[in-house]
Amino acid sequence: MADFAFTDYSGKEFVIRLENEQRIAEARRILSGEETMSTHVMGRIRKTRAEYNPGWNFHLDPETITFFTVAIEVCDSSITYVEDHLDEVCGAFLPGCFWCPWSSRLTREIS
């Protein structure tokens, strides 16, 4: 298990937890600069707080997190917009609870 932080164009930080060794290795390759294509974060939103992601009323389900190069527009949103419209998530806004912030960028591993 490992926690990583990412930011979006707003500069706000969001923390994800990875439990899959392959995903953890992938995240570390992104941070090292070795992986340059699939670098954005995608996963399914859970509308509950997570102790490792303070300040937000939602988190990404660790089992659903992947990294992407390009994704469909319907899953793109900023961190703060998701927070401000959490009651609409999983309906017309972010259908299926999938979130793929296009401007997401891993910034660090949290030890």
Residue 111: predicted pLDDT: 85
Q: How many domains does the chain have?
A: 1
67-91 pLDDT, tens digit per residue, is: 998 877 889 999 999 999 999 999 9
Confidence (pLDDT) at 69: 87
18's CB contacts (< 8 A; 6+ apart) are 1, 2, 3, 4, 24, 27, 62, 65
Q: How far apart are CA 5 and CA 12, in angstroms?
A: 10
Boundaries of domain holding 67: 2-109
What is the predicted pLDDT for the residue at 34? 96
pLDDT value at position 61? Answer: 98
Ranges in the chain, pLDDT < 70? none
pLDDT, position 89: 97
